[in-house]
Structure 1
């Protein structure tokens, strides 16, 4: 009997092993198909997102069609449409209507930007850039004289930056940019391109701040497509992670991770001095006051010498325009009076209208952006004083006009403290 049971167990053993292998095989196949399904889904989502965001070929086709028909002209048109020496590289677009690509123009590297939605009146609603009129490149019309075009530009700039004693100088800068081939004359196609570009806040800022070291250079244009100087590092700090991982990383941990991936402290100090100098550039410059409405790390980068460069100037708006927009905005609470991420006025509850004075000046916003950036790794001998000055800076209230002396004092003290600490190092 024992032998019979033993024989039965021996016969049953291969069956158990076979069943176990079948189970493992099914489990392997299931997880393999699941991995294939998830990978395919991720690739599909990524591809769909890419094709929606990255439509540079549409932009190029539209621009080159207008150029070949003689509607527009500019310093980059021939290179883009005829010679093929202006090349679009990696897509950096964050929104479908604002196309952004790295690019090369002959031996030069740059960033190519183009608008492909219907634009051109200046609207500070939900978009940071204006939206286009139904008919693009319709102004100035045929028969418009150069003098009439100058008047158009003058009126437009006056509306944007307000009445300025040297507004004519700014008009001259614009006309110089409009003369793409530098032959001393502005053709109608060049004028149409210049007029379209003037509607874009970033281009206006580049012209206004063209001599400032922290503003990327405007290298060329064709219609409302324009090429800017490339900034090597396109964020003050941070690290790019796959979007799938982004969903699972807590916000606090993400913020800490971003601070880990930064340059050495002396280099951070030099970059920070650059941001403070940029605040000076836009505060009561020769062509008016501008407000920084999104002072986030993604809007400022730096080059290989650790000199700060503004990456996205669309969020720096003329004070005159912001006041006009807020004057017409209805509100119930203060939070109804916010533009961008960082420009806020208060709500006048008696009129149910937003006031026109910003709550905080540019400097306070810049210090808030720099606080964690500068305090992490700061030398012990200046950390306490640096923290004190940063918090004093962040506490600034009201417009810079109302506190010009205090504003200037805090800004200069911060710059001096940082510069003294790094002036003797190679990073300076």
Structure 2
């Protein structure tokens, strides 16, 4: 009797253990299946997003097809399509109609950009006879620049520079396919503005082009400071913490001073620009980088807008309050409440916004004997108001004092 009872109890425990093992097995199978399902879905979403954003192979095929048909030509076409010496590498695109890749071309590392949206070609380029191409193209480029930059005394000189760029094979003349490619490039404001600022070394150098695909030199260090967090983390990190952490990931102070000098010189050049005044409407650190020699480069020329175009755009905008009169991120005007129209005059000049970007960057690690004076000048600079196009004495004085203060600190260092 007793042994029978124990045997039955043992059988019951065995069944219970088997049931427990069976339950655990089912649970793990379910969790494994769920993990595979979720993982597959994430991979599918990522792949779908990638294929939507990154279509470099399609773009290259379309460009090379047009090149082989004789429709377009440019300094990079042969390397891209015939010799296979120009390679697209990592995709950096954030918008499907703005293709961006790292790339290499011989000894050059660079950034490849293209906007593969169909652009309506000017009928005058398409119908021009070969011997009239240069004259027609010169006229078209002149009128295009005038519409973008307003009346400028030296537009003819700029047209000459662009015709030199258009002569991709350097045979002394601009062919119809080269004119088509250059015209497509000029429709992209970031390329046009990049060419305008390239003379002073403020933007990455244009290495070559084919159709509306172009390659610029790669700026090795960017953003100006801080870390680019992946998107899942970026939304969770408080902005104050992000700002503090950003300042840890910067070069030594003399090098920061040299980079900052480059930003102040950029501001000075676009104030008194050879081709008119420009506004920088997004001073985010992500839009600036620097070279191995700690020279500043504006890596996103879309942040820059001709002042004449800015004024036109703002005056055409209706408003209820000043908050409606914002262009980009950092360019503001006021609202004429009676007219319900935005005014055309920018409220803060480029210099005040540049000093706001540089404040934390320059004050962290600044030499103790300099810090108080530097802080005073930066705050005076940030308080500037008024139109950037009408540089008054105060603007010039603050700019020159800041540059002189920084230069005294770095002129004796090897980085200067």
TM-score (norm: length of structure 2): 0.91
Structure 1: gaps (5+ residues)? 119-131
Q: Report how far residue 235 of structure 1 moved.
A: 0.9
User: Cα deviations across residues 250-284 of structure 1 (Å, max 9, x unaligned)?
Assistant: 33333333333222333222221211111122222
Q: Structure 1 136/167 Cα, relative in aligned 2: closer, same or farther at 3 Å?
A: closer
Superposed CA offset, 1:77-135 (max 9, x none):
111111111111111112111111111112211111101123xxxxxxxxxxxxx4xx3
Paired residues for 1:386-425 under 5 Å: 386-425=374-413
Q: What corresponds to 1:224 in structure 2? A: 212
Pair 32,273 (structure 1): closer, same or farther in 2 beyond 3 Å: farther
Shift of 1:29: 4.1
**Structure 1, residues 218-252: CA drift from partner, whole Å, max 9, x if none?**
11111111111111123112324443333433333
Deviation string for 1:15-69 (max 9, x for gaps)? 6655555555455444444443443333222222211111122221222222112
Aligned twin of 1:106: 106
Would you say the 8 A contact 1:139–1:195 is kept in 2? no
Alignment of 1:181 onto 2:169: yes
Q: Which residue of 2 aligns with 1:329?
A: 317
Other-structure match for 2:115: 115
Deviation (angstroms), 1:168: 1.1
**Mapped partners of 2:127, 2:164: distance in 1:** 21
Report the secondary structure of 2:302's partner residue. Answer: coil
C-alpha contact 2:271 2:391 (8 A) present in aligned 1: no
What's the TM-score once normalised by structure 1's chain length?
A: 0.88
> 1:356 and 1:255 mapped to 2: Cα distance?
32
Query: Match of 1:329, SS?
Result: coil
3-state SS of the aligned residue for 2:259?
helix
SS in 2 for 1:260: coil
Moved more, 183-192 or 405-414: 405-414
Unpaired runs of at least 5, structure 2: none
Q: Which moved more, 1:164-173 or 1:5-14?
A: 5-14
Partner of 1:172: 160
Residue in structure 1 matching 2:142, options 147, 151, 154: 154
Equivalenced residues, count: 413
Following superposition of structure 1 onto structure 2, how do residues 18-417 of structure 1 map, counting pairs within 5 Å? 21-22=21-22, 24-118=24-118, 132=119, 135-136=120-121, 138-143=123-128, 145=132, 146-417=134-405
Relative to structure 1, the CA distance from residue 51 to residue 259 in structure 2 (aligned partners, 3 Å threshold; closer, same or farther) is farther
Question: Any idea what SS the aligned residue of 2:242 has?
Answer: helix
Q: 1:138 to 1:256 in 2, by over 3 A?
A: farther
Using the alignment, how far apart are the partners of 1:38 and 1:93 within structure 2? 25
Query: What displacement does 1:137 show?
Result: 6.4
Sort the Cα spacing of 1:87 and 1:381 in 2 relative to 1 into closer, same or farther, 3 A.
same
Alignment check: 8 A CA contact 1:282 1:291 kept: yes
- Structure 2 residue matching 1:288: 3-state secondary structure: coil
